[in-house]
Amino acid sequence: MKRVALVVGHDKRKKGVRLKGGYYEWDYNSKLVNEIFDILQKTPLKDSVAIFYRNPDIIGYSNKMRELHYNIEHTLQPHLAIEFHINGSNKRGVNGHEVLYYYKSKAGKELATNLNNIFNKLLQNRDRGIKQKTKTDRGGGFLHRGSYPCLITEPFFAQNINRYDIGTQGYQNLLGAYLEFIIDFIES
């Protein structure tokens, strides 16, 4: 059976974009990832997923990514790692989802396409597409490490939190999109 590393983007000290309601990207995605994990723990797939966090005590992005991937590989030996994020922008009216992958990874491109298609089906926002990244691009430090495909997800912009906030139908759709993708991947 395939295994998936669920990685919460940012860390408990540098929490990412601030959302309306006084909480941050890291808080939102920590809840989301734990809910995905808890649901899968009640299924035969329970040993196929594990949650990972960046170590806030490590200095430097590259060092954090090295340690994160070392922990992922030695704990889970995954077939896929997904890092959960939320886009931020100062522009009014931005909306949409995107999935990032490492440009040299054919499997990453295929998986990014699959997840993006599920986002298109379940999230009611603009399709910003899949985006290939090099190791020096934003997110590339996560995407290029590891011997397994890695994805970074940006399912919506922080300005649209009202549509995807915890307890809303949008949140349930987002949760459903991730579960559908992860279950399909594990069982394929």
- pTM surpassing 0.75? yes
Q: In what order do the strands lie in the sheet with 150-154?
A: 49-53, 4-8, 80-84, 150-154, 97-102, 127-133
Q: What one-character-per-residue DSSP string does 18-54 give?
A: BPTTS-BHHHHHHHHHHHHHHHHTTSTTGGGEEEEE-
β-sheet bridge partners, residue 51: 6
Which parts of 58-109 are beta strand (E)? 80-84, 97-102
Report the percentage of the chain scoring pLDDT > 90: 91
In the structure encoding, which two tokens stand for residue 185, read together?
């991947």
Counting the structural domains of the chain, the total is 1
Distance CA 42, CA 67 (A): 30
pLDDT of residue 22: 83
Low-confidence ranges of the chain (pLDDT < 50): none
Domain of residue 8, CATH code: 3.40.630.40
> Domain span at residue 183?
4-187
The reported pLDDT for the residue numbered 33 is: 98
pLDDT of 179: 98
User: Residue 66: what pLDDT?
Assistant: 96
